[in-house]
Amino acid sequence: MSYRAAGPIRIFLFIASLLGPSAPLLASLPASVDGQPLPTLAPMLAHTTPAVVNIAALGHTEVRQSPLLMDPFFQHFFNAPRKPQRRETQSLGSGVIVDADKGYILTNNHVVEQADKISVMLRDGRRFDARLLGTDKESDIAVIQIPAQGLTALPLADSEALQVGDFVVAIGNPFGLGQTVTSGIVSALGRTDLGIEGYEDFIQTDASINPGNSGGALVNLRGELVGINTAILAPGGGNVGIGFAIPINMANSVMQQLIEHGAVERGQLGITAQDLTPELAGAFGIERDRGTVISRVEPDSPAERGQLKVGDVILKVDGKPVRSSGEVRNRVGLLRVGSRVNMTIWRDGQTLTRSLVIEPTRLEELAGKSLHYQLEGATFSNLPESLQRPDRASGVLVSAVEPDTPAWRASLRKNDIILSANRMPLRTLDDFKQAVQGNRKLLINVQRGDGAMFILLQ
């Protein structure tokens, strides 16, 4: 028998061959074979799909103007607009009902970010305006609420119990087509340092995740929520079988803070860590090919008071082994200020345990006008621990920019990271001061999101 037929036809012919020559080729498949029912996900999906919603977020964005249009002379004589132009935007995505009584819905921050209006459509066709309870850009989690009755919520699984090879199902609203279900397996766990989000501990799956699936559900075969679909790896612009979901344990931890406080208050230990390579492991005399080593301890920080030292190799955080600096960052970043964390470290051939308390992040700030007249209106700070990632260079954070100021007209924006000034790499505000001192001309390299650019000020 030939199997050159494509898609569903090929599958149908293969199943027909298994059923034997007595099965009519064009007949519908039987409900059972030899008394055994054919496997189907339909009963599970009947209970889970009503808990997955479609989200439409309406907002606006500022249209970036050319430097010529921002020039006061040009604005005065040619009646150019003095205020930035605004353009309406629409984002389509998905969400998961996690509390039927209170109407809580988990989704991605990037689905509802800067939305003026959020509309939610349920599986049964009902539509509601949602209230934004809180967002966390670093983990890409947001919580919204709808005033609806008769909702269905998904039970939460323990994502720590997931294993590579477990079957999973992705439910969402790809390309705005409406609710769609795809299936696959867990391809990998603990994916970090991808540069997609600030805090990463992704479940990787080959279940098809496409644009519009963001914020949708990744469920196990019991219909329990194991993750929130958030991103795809798409070199050619389409699905290639590599999708990523935020583990529900992480999402739930963030959600509780967003519901209680409207934001996530992250603290810091005051350490900078890097991945432990086999070469570094050999230098430290430890038989370990993965882990993290402390490369810097901030003065007067919880780490210093807890007697951590540069060169300590972190083995465990609260009893759980860590394989990379990204894992350490995730574990600490999800703890609330005031929480106590136990660090198991390796130092000089000994295994030690240190207990530390998470403290609020302390940011030293510097006014831009004290650096350069064209930086007036901007405020700079050292890069906080929550924004430090192994895949990203150090720098200085633009913590605030006032509209219609020289810094604003120079295209600086809040959360930009200044990587270098006059070609000098920056790690601290002191580096920034040194690079700018005595120079009227200032060339800065700015990182914004996944992009970067040079800005010349003179």
**91 has pLDDT over 80:** no
Mean pLDDT of 287-308: 83
- Taking CA 55 as the corner, what is the angle to CA 53 and CA 59, rounded to the nearest 5 degrees? 170
Mean pLDDT of 390-395: 61
pLDDT of residue 156: 94
| Dist. CA 355–CA 303, nearest whole Å | 9
% of the chain surpassing 90 pLDDT: 21
Residues taking part in catalysis: 110, 140, 214
pLDDT band at 350 (very low <50, low <70, confident <90, very high): confident
Return the C-alpha torsion angle 189, 195, 198, 201, nearest 10: 0
pLDDT band at 95 (very low <50, low <70, confident <90, very high): very high
**Per-chain mean pLDDT for the chain:** 80
pLDDT of residue 80: 55
Q: What is the DSSP letter of 266?
A: B
Domains of the chain, each with CATH number or no CATH: 7-39 (no CATH), 41-263 (2.40.10.120), 267-360 (2.30.42.10), 365-457 (2.30.42.10)
| Dist. CA 237–CA 100, nearest whole Å | 36
pLDDT of residue 278: 80
Are the C-beta atoms of 419 and 452 separated by less than 8 Å?
A: yes
**133 has pLDDT over 90:** yes
Residue with tokens 């990182």: 447
User: pLDDT tens digits for 201-225?
Assistant: 888 998 888 777 888 999 999 999 9
User: pLDDT tens digits for 239-266?
Assistant: 667 888 999 998 998 999 899 888 887 7
3-state secondary structure of 44: helix
Residue with tokens 């087509």: 177
User: pLDDT tens digits for 39-76?
Assistant: 788 889 999 999 999 998 888 766 555 555 555 555 55
Most confident region among 164-173, 288-297, 327-336 by mean pLDDT: 164-173
Phi, psi at residue 367, to the nearest 5°? Answer: -75, 135
**362 has pLDDT over 70:** no
| Dist. CA 172–CA 230, nearest whole Å | 11
3-state secondary structure of 426: coil
Return the C-alpha torsion angle 275, 226, 146, 182, nearest 10: 110
